[in-house]
């Protein structure tokens, strides 16, 4: 039976992935950890412990003591925050990954590792429309540089030590359970909260900035599908492209306005606009579709409907038409 360790269980992906994995593998088999307490559902649905992935000694003890067989390492400093403290962000993003790869290499029981990469691995010299799996990668942000270096390390551990590391280049993720914090694509979460709370939003990206975005349920399904895929079918051991939808702030504004008619938006692009302009507008994920059958369920319309409904419930507000 699998025994799964989640690092970063209080975060945007971790909080939802923990619950999904507990459904699949049983609550007692999914050990949630973070450096801060997660939300109530993660806390109450199975084991949780405070654990700092930077502390390699405690990490290896934890893995051995709980007979961990799979590790999902989801903790990272995102793109916007990383630009404010580049050296610290590099240190955290890289050393945490190296700790995980080393533990997985040393402890025989650990059979699989998941680590998220990002569209941030691409840069201004990458083709921005339908960005291929294999292409020019010259990221200009410290976050992107750390993700690209991480991809190379994952592939290295696979080639050299036969470690089964799997990874996805997530696009911007949109969810209502747990907010992300510090990312360039976070506008796409903030806009929904602000629409429900205030009926207006001041966007830090310009109106026509297209980026690939994905609704969290599709991201969770993709992650589980990749982790359950037949290893013989996987041809990529760095990270797989994941596309989702190519969307601008203007598109989301128009969609929200259908349900909140007076919703107004203003645009005050900041340093994150410069980051967004170096990232793809849309992604070619045909290799993921071929190797592990990646598909999506949600489009902008169905996602917007759920986002507004769930956020209204959460905030106890009824602003919807
Ligand atoms: N969503 C992330 C960010 O904006 C990209 O992976 O930083």
User: In this structure, what token pair is assigned to residue 271?
Assistant: 């340093």
Q: Evaluate whether 113 touches 70 at the Cβ level (below 8 Å).
A: yes
User: In this structure, what token pair is assigned to residue 290?
Assistant: 């071929």
Place of tokens 């999902």: 72
Distance 225 CA to ligand 1 centre (A): 21
Residue nearest to atom 2 of ligand 1 (CA): 183
Q: What pTM was computed for the model? A: 0.96
Residue nearest to atom 6 of ligand 1 (CA): 118
Q: How confident is the model at residue 318, as a pLDDT? A: 72
With a 6 A CB cut-off, is 163 part of the ligand 1 pocket? no
Report the C-alpha gap between 187 and 225 in whole angstroms: 27
Per residue of the chain (321 residues), give pLDDT as tens: 999 999 999 999 999 999 999 999 999 999 999 999 999 999 999 999 999 999 999 999 999 999 999 999 999 999 999 999 999 999 999 999 999 999 999 999 999 999 999 999 999 999 999 999 999 999 999 999 999 999 999 999 999 999 999 999 999 999 999 987 899 999 999 999 999 999 999 999 999 999 999 999 999 999 999 999 999 999 999 999 999 999 999 999 999 999 999 999 999 999 999 999 999 999 999 999 999 999 999 999 999 999 999 999 999 877 666
Residue nearest to atom 1 of ligand 1 (CA): 172
Catalytic residue selected from 25, 72, 143, 176: 143
Distance 66 CA to ligand 1 centre (A): 31
**DSSP collapsed to 3 states, the chain:** CCCEEEECCCCHHHHHHHHHHHHHHCHHHEEEEECCCCCHHHHHHCCEEECCCCCHHHHHHHHHHCCCCEEEECCCCCHHHHHHCHHHHHHHHHHHHHHHHHHHHHCCCCCEEECCEEHHHCCCCCCCCCECCCCCCCCCCHHHHHHHHHHHHHHHHHHHHCCEEECEEECEEECCCCCCCCCCCCHHHHHHHHHHHHCEEEECCCCCCCEEEEEHHHHHHHHHHHHHCCHHHCCCCCCEECCCEEECHHHHHHHHHHHCCCCEEEECCCHHHHHHCCCCCCECCHHHHHHHCCCCCCCHHHHHHHHHHHHHHHHCCCCCC
Q: How confident is the model at residue 319, as a pLDDT? A: 67
With a 6 A CB cut-off, is 18 part of the ligand 1 pocket? no
Q: Evaluate whether 73 touches 32 at the Cβ level (below 8 Å).
A: no
User: In this structure, what token pair is assigned to residue 282?
Assistant: 């849309």
Superfamily of domain 4-172+214-241: NAD(P)-binding Rossmann-like Domain (3.40.50.720)
Residue 148 sits at the vertex; the CA angle it makes with 239 and 247, to the nearest 5 degrees, is 70
Q: How confident is the model at residue 157, as a pLDDT? A: 98
With a 6 A CB cut-off, is 304 part of the ligand 1 pocket? no
Report the C-alpha gap between 217 and 228 in whole angstroms: 16
With a 6 A CB cut-off, is 212 part of the ligand 1 pocket? no
Distance 182 CA to ligand 1 centre (A): 8
First-residue to last-residue Cα distance in the chain: 48
Q: Ligand 1 test: best mutation among 12, 93, 120, 213, most atoms within 8 Å of CB? A: 120
* Cα–Cα distances in angstroms (integers) from residue 142 to residues 50, 78, 120, 124, 263, in the given order: 27, 9, 9, 14, 35
Q: Which atom of ligand 1 is nearest to the CA of 173?
A: 1
CATH number corresponding to 173-212+245-281+297-315: 3.90.25
Distance 318 CA to ligand 1 centre (A): 30
Q: Ligand 1 test: best mutation among 171, 184, 273, most atoms within 8 Å of CB? A: 184
Is 143 designated active site?
yes
Domain boundaries, the chain: 4-172+214-241, 173-212+245-281+297-315
Q: How confident is the model at residue 321, as a pLDDT? A: 63
Q: Do domains 4-172+214-241 and 173-212+245-281+297-315 have the same CATH topology?
A: no
Long-range contacts of 35-43, Cβ-Cβ distance < 8 Å, separation of 24 or more: 35/75, 36/10, 37/10, 38/9, 38/10, 38/14, 39/10, 39/15, 39/177, 39/178, 41/15, 42/9, 42/10, 42/14, 42/15, 42/18
With a 6 A CB cut-off, is 185 part of the ligand 1 pocket? yes
């Amino acid at each position: 039976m699998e025994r799964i360790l989640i690092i970063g269980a209080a975060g945007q992906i971790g909080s939802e992935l923990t619950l999904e994995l507990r459904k699949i593998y049983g609550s007692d088999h999914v050990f949630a950890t973070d450096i801060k307490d997660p939300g109530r559902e993660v806390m109450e649905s199975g084991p949780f412990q405070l654990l700092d992935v930077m502390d390699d000694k405690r990490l290896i003890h934890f893995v051995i003591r709980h007979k961990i067989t799979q590790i999902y390492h989801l903790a990272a400093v995102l793109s916007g925050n990383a630009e404010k403290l580049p050296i610290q962000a590099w240190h955290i993003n890289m050393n945490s990954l190296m700790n995980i790869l080393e533990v997985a290499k040393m402890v025989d029981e650990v059979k699989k590792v998941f680590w998220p990469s990002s569209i941030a691995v691409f840069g201004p010299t990458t083709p921005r429309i339908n960005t291929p799996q294999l292409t020019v990668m010259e990221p200009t942000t410290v976050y992107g540089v750390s993700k690209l270096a991480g991809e190379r390390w994952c592939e290295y551990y696979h080639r050299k030590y036969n470690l089964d590391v799997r990874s996805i280049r997530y696009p911007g993720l949109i969810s209502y359970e747990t907010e992300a914090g510090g990312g360039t694509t976070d506008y796409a979460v903030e806009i929904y909260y602000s629409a429900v709370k205030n009926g207006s939003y001041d966007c830090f990206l310009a109106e026509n900035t297209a980026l690939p975005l994905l609704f969290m349920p599709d991201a969770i399904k993709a992650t589980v599908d990749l982790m359950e895929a037949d290893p013989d079918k996987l041809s990529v051991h760095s990270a797989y492209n994941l596309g989702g939808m190519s969307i601008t702030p203007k598109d989301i504004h128009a969609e929200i306005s259908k349900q909140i008619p007076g919703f107004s938006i203003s645009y005050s692009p900041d340093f994150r606009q410069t980051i967004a302009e170096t990232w793809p507008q849309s992604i070619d994920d045909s290799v993921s579709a071929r190797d592990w059958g990646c598909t999506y369920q949600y489009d902008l319309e169905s996602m917007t409907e759920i986002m507004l409904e769930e956020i209204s419930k959460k905030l106890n507000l009824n602003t919807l038409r």
